[in-house]
Structure 1
Amino acid sequence: MKTRYFICSLVSLLVCATSFAQNHSGIELFNLGELTTAKQLFEGSKGVSPDISYYYLGEIALKEGKNSEALEYFNKGINADSDAVFCSIGKVKIEQKASPKELSKELKNIQKKNKKDIAVLVQIAKAYWDVDMIADAESTLSAARSIDKNSALPYLLGGDILLKKGNIGEAASQYEQAYTFDPSCVVAYIKNALVYETTNSTTSINTLKSGLEANPNNTLINKYLADIYYHHGFYQQAIDAYNLFFQSNNQSLADLKNYAASFYFTDNYEKALEIIQEVLAVDPNNRVMNRLLMYTFDKQKKFDKALDASEKLFALSPDDTQTPLLANDYIVYGDILRENGDLDKAIVQYDKAIALDTEKLDVLKDITGKLVNANRFVEAGKLYDRYIELAKETESSDYLLMGIAYYQAAVKASKDEIEKDQTKLVEYTTKAEAAFSMVIDLVPDSYQGYYWRANVKTLLDADLSKGLANDDYLKMIEVIKSNDLDSNINKLVEGYRYLSIYYLYQFDSNKKDSDKQSAKKYAEQVLELNSNDDTAQKILEVLSN
């Protein structure tokens, strides 16, 4: 009989200890706005501690705007425990909200019966604050502080009130006092860290580390430490902290999203994929995870799976999530389509990316590079043109790249044997020439503008009868010789070779000795730089006969 009693007592103690732990964790989570997980914990403890559990279930319902449900919870707490103080506070707050005098009267009666219970007074102060009875809230909070000056609870609520007023510095001071008086107050460390996260992440991280030193077994601090690491791009540190937090088995889908993304950003795509699929098994229409799934398959170069993931992402209804599609989503989708051989559809997606954010210059530059790589030179040239139009500041390289795109388009037009279009050739060469002229204006000491403009003019003078490129090649040679001869030998060879061919043709046409001597001179200059140049050797051979 004694043994049975002893065992029953142990079981009872274990149940109470478990309930206390659930309530403590639940209150921490509630105070931090982690309502879903907090609700689960309070649902699990309401049979053992109905007053606290039903009170916080009611408070969660109030935060969700469900007043009737909240009142139902408070009544259940009172029915389960006739001495339910906290649920009585919640019930009064709802039922007497429209009657401040009656509300104050009833709360004061509760306060008189529990005038030494600091937790009760803090919740009464919160009730006053919730119904905008600010003076009563502050006086009750002051009374709570007088009970136990070393309790964290009044400072915690005081910080919350100041934060809602926008007094960030004073709120942080209250949170700091809370954990100074009570180092076990985990919520105070976290709230103080969150106050500073956007302005001083180092302070936030150090505050949480201090909290861990005082509470080494508290996994909740690791959750917020992981969040801050994640938000500021310290992804490996975020992974390490999440691993510790997940030991509590209280992780939410939001935590798993950050966890998966951290693996993605540390190039651990296999692990990222594992977590992504875990989330999607529970929430298949989650846009963030479907996006990350597409990105991950793309990084793994599994383009068939990436295409399936892309189609799922873009098929999701806007009602499925509050997360909007990003310009980069369209870019990656376009890349995947391109890798699957559907360039035209890819360009449609690139256009959508640009339309989504017409002034996002990095998007324009990124897509122009992709179009060049796909040999879509006309589209690339137009995007460079748009980029230059929108950019507040441009560089010579912007005009150079635009010019090269139009030059490549002109080369393609000149080689089109099926439908040779002289109009397009003129259009593209005109645009290319204008772009290279801008390069020359911006950096006249660079050979690049002269070199590329000479190439453009060669397209309009295929038989070299007009010598359209002569001046630009000569200027290019002059600039190279005066600046950096050794690193541009090939360009010099190209320029001398062009001029030797031009004068050879002229000599062949009119038999002027001056043209012969010029052709010979430039051919010899080619051979000085490259003794094995076949073209220069043949020119000298022809001229010697």
Structure 2
Amino acid sequence: MKNMSKIAAAALPLIFAGSAAFSQSLDDAKKAIDAEQYQKAKSMLKNLTVTQADKDENYFYLGWVYILQDYADSAKNAFTQGIAKNSKSAINYAGLGAVARLDKNSAAVTSNFNQAITLAGKDSKPYTYIGKAYLLEPADSKAAIDVLSKGKAVNPRDPELLVTLGEANRLAIKSSDALANYNEALAIDPKMTSAIVAKGILWKFANNFEKSEEEFKAALAVNPNYGPAYRAWAETDLRWAFNDPKMASAKIKEGTEKYKQYLSLTDRSIESRIQYADFLLLAGDFKTLQTEVTELSKVAGTNLKVHRYLAYSAVENKDYATALPAMTKFLAEAGEKRIIPRDYIYLGRAQIGTGADTAGINSLKKAITLDTTQVDLYKDIAGALYSSKNYIEAGDAYSDYITKSKKVTLNDYLAMGRSYYFGYQGQLFSTETPKPTPDDALLTKADSAFSYIQQKASAPIATVALYQARVNEYKEKDRNNIEGYARPFYEQYIQLTTAKQPVAEADKKGLAEAYAYLGTIYEFKEKDDAKAAENYGKAREYDPTNKTALRYFQKKGGSGK
């Protein structure tokens, strides 16, 4: 018995040592999650679900890593296993609510979160993770603040909850409250790097970039290997670049280097590299983005987001042949809940870029249907319609763009006017049977667009004057009883074009057209043969192939010299 007591006594330290090792391992996994070393954390947690299979918390944190990595199905499976181990696991019900929120299942969100709170008792962790779930995209900061405030009442000294509440207040544009929450957390744990970084992010959104940098440096002084500080610093550099054009090039370059430091401190997992891709997308570095996601797309089973980004970057790089299959794959496999209007924008542009204009136009129209703020897409639609010679529809699309967009320029009015002009011309010279009746309203719309440009431009524009002349020439219904509607516009075009000598080669056909029209005025309206010959002569001088001038001189039976 004495020996047995000694053996038992000797075994006690080993038992407690094993318990401490487990506790430390779970703590290490949580630290890895905080450091955004997700592969490392996932490996630890998978091991813990085997070696400590009865601990429901292990399954929760594994599921939460899956949430962060955008694998909702795997997360749901982990949370369900956690509840199977402990039917009263409040935190795993919080996890199931997070999955339901990603799946847009509002009934399941409510029931799971309610169950989590019912079972939580004095444990503030379920409140913290319900709050984090509400901050997943699309964030509901109000709901997060409500539940986190209740959690704070349960335990006012939970620093993780306080930082999460700060994040919710920041998103709700309650900056003072957010700063107070972060400082409360730091009063409890002065070395809480996530709280220090959160303060830096708060200053970033206040555009106080120098103050942001101070906080990131402070976080790195506590832990030089804290990767999220470098990531937040990189994202701050990017915002700095967008807000200060003079600093843009330097800050984008600096931000990219900071992000590379972040990657070096994570496990360079697929998910970390996808976060880098997120950064490159925001930075508008589509060349580097395409290179990065092309490599990622070769990894079996990689996140579908990679194919989305491959499509986006390839479109921006005008590599439409690469973009179209990438976007098609993403849309086919992502599921309706993951598809956003922007996906249809890039699908449409890829389709148009590969010559599938009709399909592309339909995709862009779908994007507008899903997000009515995307009014600038009417310009893309108009451009595609114009390229495919659907001029009247193009004019209508330009009209929609001009009416709804805040980025309209005089060039857009020119494009609209040209579209309606060519639409009328197409009707006039149509070979269809039955032949359509030309719609004079198209001329009116074109004329209105051109007139608007001349009124708003700082000086009259020669090209616009030429189109005004052409529109008004089509208003002449009887060439034997010509009224001369186009005359002042052709004369203005001549004056504007010949003001600079020598005349540009590109303007010579237009000048020939203008002089030939004036020739017809003198020939048929004013009956002044000398003036007619003079103007027809100038037309022939600028364009020896001008048919109107050639007709006149052939009719005269000579060269006209």
Same fold (TM over 0.5): yes
Residues 199, 421 of structure 1: alpha-carbon distance in 2 compared, 3 angstrom cutoff: farther
- Give the C-alpha shift of residue 275 in structure 1: 2.0
Q: Is 1:210 matched with 2:218?
A: yes
Residues 345, 452 of structure 1: alpha-carbon distance in 2 compared, 3 angstrom cutoff: same
Residues 236, 271 of structure 1: alpha-carbon distance in 2 compared, 3 angstrom cutoff: farther
Name which of 150, 174, 181 aligns with 1:171.
Answer: 181
Partner residue, 1:107: none
Name which of 290, 303, 311 aligns with 2:328.
Answer: 311
* Aligned 8 A contact 2:197 2:229 in 1: yes
The C-alpha deviation readout for 1:347-373, integer Å capped at 9, x for no partner, is 322332333334433221233233333
Residues 36, 71 of structure 1: alpha-carbon distance in 2 compared, 3 angstrom cutoff: farther
Partner residue, 1:113: none
Q: Is 1:473 matched with 2:486?
A: no
Q: Is 1:199 matched with 2:219?
A: no
* Aligned 8 A contact 1:172 1:195 in 2: no
- Distance in 1, matches of 2:47 and 2:388, equals 59
* Aligned 8 A contact 2:297 2:306 in 1: yes
Name which of 422, 435, 447 aligns with 1:408.
Answer: 422
* Aligned 8 A contact 1:260 1:273 in 2: no
- Distance in 2, matches of 1:133 and 1:510, equals 90
Residues 218, 241 of structure 1: alpha-carbon distance in 2 compared, 3 angstrom cutoff: same
Q: Is 1:27 matched with 2:30?
A: yes
The C-alpha deviation readout for 1:93-133, integer Å capped at 9, x for no partner, is x9997897xx79xxxxxxxxxxxxxxxxxxxxxxxx98958
- Distance in 1, matches of 2:404 and 2:325, equals 35
Partner residue, 1:69: 82
Aligned partner of 1:438: which letter? Y
Aligned partner of 2:155: which letter? A
- Give the C-alpha shift of residue 168 in structure 1: 0.9
- Give the C-alpha shift of residue 336 in structure 1: 2.9
Mapping 1:2-13, distance limit 5 Å = none
- Give the C-alpha shift of residue 381 in structure 1: 0.6
The number of residue pairs the alignment matches comes to 458
- Segments of 5+ residues of structure 2 without an aligned counterpart are 1-16, 65-74, 90-114, 124-146, 243-250
Aligned partner of 1:57: which letter? N
Residues 519, 39 of structure 1: alpha-carbon distance in 2 compared, 3 angstrom cutoff: same
* Aligned 8 A contact 1:291 1:313 in 2: yes
Identity rate of aligned residues, in percent? 18
TM-score, normalization by structure 2: 0.63
Residues 451, 357 of structure 1: alpha-carbon distance in 2 compared, 3 angstrom cutoff: farther
Q: Is 1:399 matched with 2:382?
A: no
Q: Is 1:221 matched with 2:244?
A: no
> What is the RMSD of the two structures over their aligned residues, measured on CA atoms?
5.2
Q: What is the SS of the residue equivalent to 1:349?
A: helix
- Give the C-alpha shift of residue 402 in structure 1: 0.5
Residues 408, 330 of structure 1: alpha-carbon distance in 2 compared, 3 angstrom cutoff: farther
Name which of 402, 412, 415 aligns with 1:388.
Answer: 402
- Give the C-alpha shift of residue 446 in structure 1: 1.4
Query: 353-362 or 387-396, which moves further after superposition?
Result: 387-396
- Distance in 1, matches of 2:203 and 2:49, equals 36
- Distance in 2, matches of 1:458 and 1:40, equals 77
The C-alpha deviation readout for 1:127-181, integer Å capped at 9, x for no partner, is xx9895856734xx4xxxxxxxxxxxx76665556666762121233355567x5
Q: What is the SS of the residue equivalent to 2:224?
A: coil
- Distance in 1, matches of 2:540 and 2:504, equals 10
Q: Is 1:457 matched with 2:472?
A: yes
Partner residue, 2:301: 281
- Distance in 1, matches of 2:200 and 2:302, equals 31
- Segments of 5+ residues of structure 1 without an aligned counterpart are 1-13, 77-93, 105-128, 142-153
- Distance in 2, matches of 1:348 and 1:99, equals 50
Partner residue, 1:137: 155
Query: 27-36 or 384-393, which moves further after superposition?
Result: 27-36
Partner residue, 2:196: 189
Aligned partner of 2:306: which letter? M
Aligned partner of 2:29: which letter? G
- Distance in 2, matches of 1:426 and 1:156, equals 70
Residues 399, 229 of structure 1: alpha-carbon distance in 2 compared, 3 angstrom cutoff: same
The C-alpha deviation readout for 1:303-333, integer Å capped at 9, x for no partner, is 44433323323324635xx43322x433432
Higher Cα radius of gyration: 1
* Aligned 8 A contact 1:201 1:228 in 2: no
Residues 412, 191 of structure 1: alpha-carbon distance in 2 compared, 3 angstrom cutoff: same
Partner residue, 1:446: 460
Q: Is 1:338 matched with 2:352?
A: yes
The C-alpha deviation readout for 1:60-89, integer Å capped at 9, x for no partner, is 49989969936947999xxxxxxxxxxxxx
* Aligned 8 A contact 2:376 2:405 in 1: no
The C-alpha deviation readout for 1:452-484, integer Å capped at 9, x for no partner, is 111223345599652332122124445668xx6
Partner residue, 2:293: 272
Residues 324, 534 of structure 1: alpha-carbon distance in 2 compared, 3 angstrom cutoff: closer
- Give the C-alpha shift of residue 59 in structure 1: 6.7
- Give the C-alpha shift of residue 382 in structure 1: 0.9
Partner residue, 2:390: 376
- Distance in 2, matches of 1:219 and 1:390, equals 44
- Give the C-alpha shift of residue 204 in structure 1: 3.6
* Aligned 8 A contact 2:233 2:258 in 1: yes
- Distance in 1, matches of 2:474 and 2:205, equals 57
Q: Is 1:57 matched with 2:58?
A: yes
Aligned partner of 1:69: which letter? G
